Amino acid sequence: MTDHLDPIILGHNQFIGVSHLSQEAARARVERFGRMDRVGELIRFCRESGVHGMMLSSHPKARDILAYLKAEGLADGLGLYPLIPFAQGYVRRMNAVGMTGMIKEIVQAAPLKTKASLAVQGSLGLARRDLTRLLGAFVDIEMLNFKGFDTRGVFLHDAFVDLALALQAREQLEFFSKHVRSRYGVRPGFVTMNFPLLVESFQRWGMERPLVMTTFNKAGFQMNPSREACERALDSGYADVVAMSTLAAGYLDPGSAYEYIHSLGNVPSVVVGVSTVDHARETFSLINGTVFKEKEDLGL
């Protein structure tokens, strides 16, 4: 089992119509990437530029993307970093059918093996210990989408990580960690908006030094409780960080934004959202010339 971490990971937000800049920008993305050939063109360019890591949630659109990549021969050698569960989808289901209705749906959709391990008694007669394992069901259902692909890490969505951190739900976070290691043989990752709290908690619990995707940007946007506290947590060296929101959702000038990431000195990987080939070319060259300028072996 190797823990390979790609220095540049292509983010998925642009493909699934998400923009943290504005909903207007998000709608433009839905329109642009409604055509799968545009997704393909962009991923092909990434591969040619030496970017072989891609993050993908289990958004319904992501399934289409995966099928397309396979059909077009773009999946070989492409390292996937699934981001699960697809939180927004569950929130919508919860609003539509209620919390227990949603949990019922999850249990029903789980793979047989998972269902058996849940020891489902009747429709919702879950035993106490099984409620932690429900998290395993979440993971397994979502991972069905990525079967047959080269998965290099599985990230737990920040909606769940941040809830667990605030509740100090050590058992559930450890369960996720072990489950990903044992069932999928890859490194578990955690997405968070509370990076210092995560580092402090994991250290206190004596958990394995984690892989963490979290916000790092010059503007301090979405860095809680503050940019300074996040930088101090990074300096502790107790996490391998994949920096996200490096442009503060398209708000920052890329040049100075990546200089800032480089100045941190301790960021092995950056997740980027690029929407066009020109944009990708500019971004990769900037990252290569700033964040990883001392590293010659990236081959980007």
Partner 1 sequence: MRARPEKRHQDVKKSNMETRKEASVGIVGLGKMGIAHLAILNALDGVAVRAVAEKQSMMRKGLGTIIDDVNIYSDYRVMLDREHLDAVYITSPTALHVSIASECAERNIGFFVEKPLGLSANECEALVREASERGTVTMVGYCKHFLETFRKAKEVLDSGQLGKPIYVTSHMYVSQLFSQGSGWRYKKESSGGGVLNILATHLVDILMWFFGGVESVTCSTKAHYSSEVEDFVHAYFTFGSGLAGPLDASWSMRGFRLPEIEVTVQCERGMLTVTEDFVKTFDDADERYTMLYKQDLFEGVPVYVGGAEYTREDALFVECLKTGRSPELDVAYGCRVQRVTDAMYESARTGRTVAPAGRE
Contact yes or no for 12/56 (Cβ under 8 A): yes
Q: Which is nearer to partner 1, 191 or 270 (CB)?
A: 191
Q: Which of 71, 116, 119, 167 binds partner 1 (CB under 8 A)?
A: 167
Residue with tokens 């289409």, as numbered in its chain: 64
Q: Which of 3, 21, 34, 113 binds partner 1 (CB under 8 A)?
A: 21
Site for partner 1 in 231-270 (CB under 8 A): 248-249, 251
Distance CA 131, CA 137 (A): 10
Q: Which of 22, 121, 256, 263 binds partner 1 (CB under 8 A)?
A: 22
Q: Which is nearer to partner 1, 239 or 252 (CB)?
A: 252
- Report phi then psi at 255, rounded to 5: -55, -55
Query: Of the listed pieces 17-25, 49-57, 258-266, 282-290, which binds partner 1 according to CB under 8 A?
Result: 17-25
Q: Which is nearer to partner 1, 114 or 192 (CB)?
A: 192
Is residue 119 within the footprint of partner 1 (CB under 8 A)? no
Is residue 13 within the footprint of partner 1 (CB under 8 A)? no
Q: Which is nearer to partner 1, 101 or 299 (CB)?
A: 101
Tokens representing residue 165 in the block: 């951190």
Is residue 171 within the footprint of partner 1 (CB under 8 A)? yes
Closest CA to 247 of 212, 211, 277, 290: 290
Distance CA 247, CA 250 (A): 5
Distance CA 276, CA 197 (A): 36
Q: Which of 60, 98, 111, 299 binds partner 1 (CB under 8 A)?
A: 98
How many residues belong to the site for partner 1 (CB under 8 A)?
Answer: 53
Site for partner 1 in 134-153 (CB under 8 A): 134
Is residue 162 within the footprint of partner 1 (CB under 8 A)? yes
Query: Of the listed pieces 1-9, 88-96, 148-156, 231-239, which binds partner 1 according to CB under 8 A?
Result: 88-96
Query: Of the listed pieces 62-70, 110-118, 129-137, 266-274, which binds partner 1 according to CB under 8 A?
Result: 129-137
Binding string, 43-82, against partner 1, x = CB under 8 A?
A: ----------------------------------------
Contact residues for partner 1, defined by CB under 8 A? 17-18, 21-23, 26-27, 30, 88, 91-92, 94-101, 103, 124, 126, 128-129, 131-132, 134, 159, 162-163, 165-169, 171-172, 193-194, 197, 219-227, 229, 248-249, 251
